[in-house]
């Protein structure tokens, strides 16, 4: 079925775009056209920001509502999202190649989980607190919504990463302009349908499907109060520069090159499902994956054998098939990028133990075989740069101090994992890794706790109560 849209969701209604440019979306697994939508131009972005601005500035509007009143509207929104769960999963899988089993655990449910969670937090956390002033009298400390939010999201988990921003922003009383990535715009129209069905007030959520130029104009738009971005480190730097110039608050969730530290007592063969999720989930197109596998030299050969066996046994194929574990990459460009990295790995002397090419029998679609490199030095390009494909590099270490040093020797610091028979030992190692998040014997992202990175992996945190405060501004009112 082809999905064709002719209007944009701005100001609570479907409006014809100002320009005539369109975004064509292709299936990652068949390379066939999947749909087509209007591309929002600068004029549309102006209209979207103006609608969000008007909704935010309305003295009796969304921002002025009590958390309870907003919570009721957000409950309707969650219901409208829940009805569409399976559609979200299927649309995302079709566009970006995500295995449907993963789409059902993420894209289908993120909105219906996060919207009520943040609405509940906003209801339970007092917006005002009165303190005794140190100099006499009292002070009312208020948490006010930060204003109009530009939410710029990538294609790898388009719905989940939208809701990391949209759910807390709405709960805090902000209004939002969402800019999805051009590779995954169809699910954003389904999101708009849910906003409309829930009858959120006009302008509270606006959606502008567009590419990088429009994204840049949204970032610098004078009507925007805060930018929340997920995507590449390269783009994150540009956005940070612009927000620095404008002194505009920004949160950045960027790339990663995390370490999966296998300790010498780990039963890796008994943990393959969890290890797969922590290192290869979503065809390797997940920012938090531990794609540098650190293995003790005493057990190096056996770790390489186990990972080689895992990668070569994965079911590669149609992302809409329930049994598929690895689907295609999102685009031809992304496959080219991943293949370039594989070539560089070989050229720099790493030893390919499985994969490295395109899977047999899959002539259509942007597939790459799950690939394992052994004998990788941490200074190699494939150990330094984010590949964003199903490619693991196994690096040897002598003792735990060296493992921690290698884990920390990275420009990035988003995630990681420690694998061990002794969870206490795992926690002790996890404490020493310079990273925003890390798992022991798995990596199960907890939406109730802060998520984000250090170093080139970003600034600020999403999720948890901290993810709500990222959309609030503090104000102190001094009383006599
Ligand atoms: P990207 O950073 O170019 O794009 C992400 C989003 O930002 C998209 O919506 C895009 O249209 C928008 N954008 C691009 N340039 C912009 C600008 N100057 N100002 C404002 N918005 C802009 O990422 P990509 O091209 O989709 O992917 C490239 C690489 O990024 C991937 O190979 C991967 O390494 C990394 N990536 C990381 C994550 C993550 O979750 N950390 C997600 C997707 C991609």
Identify whether the C-beta of residue 344 lies closer than 8 Å to the C-beta of residue 382. yes
The pick from 97, 98, 153, 154 for probing ligand 1's pocket by mutation, whose C-beta has the most ligand atoms within 8 angstroms, reads: 154
Distance (Å, whole) CA 228 – CA 357: 36
Give every CB contact of residue 21 below 8 A, 6+ residues apart in sequence.
38, 39, 41
- Model confidence over 306-340: pLDDT tens digits? 999 999 999 999 999 999 999 999 999 999 999 99
What pLDDT is recorded for position 2?
A: 85
Closest Cα to atom 25 of ligand 1: 232
CA 230 to centroid of ligand 1, rounded, Å: 7
What pLDDT is recorded for position 388?
A: 98
- Model confidence over 185-202: pLDDT tens digits? 999 999 999 999 999 999
Can you tell me the mean pLDDT for 422-442? Answer: 98
State the pLDDT confidence band at 126, using cuts at 50, 70 and 90. Answer: confident
Closest Cα to atom 6 of ligand 1: 154
Left (φ > 0), alpha (ψ -120 to 50) or beta: where does 184 sit?
A: beta
- Model confidence over 142-172: pLDDT tens digits? 999 999 999 999 999 999 999 999 999 999 9
pLDDT above 80: residue 1: no
Q: Which residues line ligand 1 (CB under 6 A)?
A: 152-156, 179, 181, 211-212, 215-216, 219, 230-232, 235, 238-239, 253-255, 287, 386, 388
Can you tell me the mean pLDDT for 18-26? Answer: 96
253 is catalytic: yes
CA 4 to centroid of ligand 1, rounded, Å: 24
Distances 51 to 47, 202, 206 between C-alpha atoms, Å: 6, 7, 8
Q: Does pTM top 0.95 for this prediction?
A: yes
Percent of the chain at pLDDT above 90?
99
| Nearest residue to 366 (alpha-carbon basis) of 170, 13, 97 | 97
Atom of ligand 1 nearest to the CA of 242: 19
| Nearest residue to 462 (alpha-carbon basis) of 162, 175, 173 | 162
- Model confidence over 67-117: pLDDT tens digits? 999 999 999 999 999 999 999 999 999 999 999 999 999 999 999 999 999
| Nearest residue to 342 (alpha-carbon basis) of 332, 356, 353 | 356
- Model confidence over 348-392: pLDDT tens digits? 999 999 999 999 999 999 999 999 999 999 999 999 999 999 999
Candidate list 107, 253, 386, 462, residue with the active-site label? 253
- Model confidence over 203-234: pLDDT tens digits? 999 999 999 999 999 999 999 999 999 999 99
Give 134-146 as a DSSP string. Answer: TTSSEEEEEEEE-
The domains of the chain, with CATH numbers, are 3-254+457-479 (3.40.605.10), 259-446 (3.40.309.10)
**C-alpha torsion sign, points 279, 451, 215, 179:** positive
Q: For the purposes of burial, counting CB atoms within 10 Å of the CB of 186, is it exposed (0-12), middle (13-18) or buried (19 or more)?
A: buried
Alpha carbons within 13 A on the beta-carbon side of 164: 29
**C-alpha torsion sign, points 280, 263, 257, 448:** positive
74 three-class SS: helix
Q: For the purposes of burial, counting CB atoms within 10 Å of the CB of 419, is it exposed (0-12), middle (13-18) or buried (19 or more)?
A: buried
Distances 350 to 381, 388, 401, 474 between C-alpha atoms, Å: 10, 18, 24, 51
Give every CB contact of residue 112 below 8 A, 6+ residues apart in sequence.
78, 81, 82, 85
**pLDDT, averaged across the chain:** 98
CA 239 to centroid of ligand 1, rounded, Å: 11
Identify whether the C-beta of residue 144 lies closer than 8 Å to the C-beta of residue 193. no
CA 201 to chain centroid, in Å, comes to 27
287 is catalytic: yes
Q: What crossing angle do the helices spanning 110-124 and 67-83 adopt, rounded to 10°?
A: 170
CA 235 to centroid of ligand 1, rounded, Å: 6
CA 184 to centroid of ligand 1, rounded, Å: 12
Distance (Å, whole) CA 215 – CA 284: 25
State the pLDDT confidence band at 277, using cuts at 50, 70 and 90. Answer: very high
Atom of ligand 1 nearest to the CA of 255: 41
């Amino acid at each position: 079925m082809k999905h064709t849209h002719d209007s944009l969701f701005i100001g609570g209604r479907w409006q014809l775009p100002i320009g005539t440019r369109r975004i064509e979306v292709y299936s990652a697994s068949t390379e066939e056209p999947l749909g087509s939508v209007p591309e929002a131009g600068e004029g549309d972005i102006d209209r979207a920001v103006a609608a969000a601005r008007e909704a935010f500035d309305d003295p009796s509007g969304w921002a002025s509502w009590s958390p309870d009143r907003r919570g009721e509207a957000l409950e309707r929104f969650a219901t409208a999202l829940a009805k569409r769960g399976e559609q979200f999963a299927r649309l995302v899988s079709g566009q970006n190649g995500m295995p449907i089993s993963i789409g059902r655990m993420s894209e289908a449910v993120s909105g219906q989980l996060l919207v009520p969670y943040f609405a509940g937090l906003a209801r339970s956390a007092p917006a005002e607190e009165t303190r005794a002033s140190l100099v006499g009298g009292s002070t009312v400390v208020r948490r006010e919504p930060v204003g109009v939010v530009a939410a710029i999201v990538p294609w790898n988990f388009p719905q989940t990463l939208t809701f990391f921003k949209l759910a807390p922003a709405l709960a805090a009383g902000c209004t939002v302009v969402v800019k999805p990535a051009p590779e995954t715009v169809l699910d954003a129209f389904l999101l708009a349908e849910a906003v409309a069905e829930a009858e959120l007030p006009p302008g509270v959520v606006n959606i502008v499907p567009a590419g990088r130029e429009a994204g840049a104009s949204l970032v610098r738009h004078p009507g925007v109060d805060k930018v929340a971005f997920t995507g590449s480190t390269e783009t994150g730097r540009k956005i940070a520069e612009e927000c620095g110039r404008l002194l505009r608050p920004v949160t950045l969730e960027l790339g990663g090159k995390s370490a999966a530290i296998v300790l010498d007592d780990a039963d890796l063969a008994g943990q393959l499902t969890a290890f797969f999720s922590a290192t290869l989930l979503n065809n390797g197109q997940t920012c938090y994956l531990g794609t540098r596998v650190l293995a003790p030299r005493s057990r190096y050969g056996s770790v390489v054998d186990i990972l080689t066996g895992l990668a070569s046994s994965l079911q590669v194929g149609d992302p809409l098939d329930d049994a598929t574990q690895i689907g295609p990459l999102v685009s031809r460009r992304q496959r080219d990028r991943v293949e370039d990295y594989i070539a560089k790995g070989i050229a720099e002397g790493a030893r390919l133990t499985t994969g490295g090419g395109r899977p047999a029998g899959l002539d259509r679609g942007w597939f790459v075989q799950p690939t394992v490199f052994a004998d990788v030095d941490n200074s190699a390009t494939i150990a330094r740069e984010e590949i964003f494909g199903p490619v693991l590099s196994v690096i040897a270490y002598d003792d735990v101090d060296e493992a921690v040093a290698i884990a920390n020797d990275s420009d990035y610091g988003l995630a990681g994992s420690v694998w061990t028979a002794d969870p206490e030992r795992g926690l002790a190692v996890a404490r020493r890794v310079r990273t925003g998040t890390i798992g022991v014997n798995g990596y199960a992202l907890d939406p109730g706790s802060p998520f984000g990175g250090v170093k080139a992996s970003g600034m600020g945190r999403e999720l948890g109560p901290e993810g709500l405060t990222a959309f609030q501004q503090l104000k102190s009112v001094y009383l006599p």
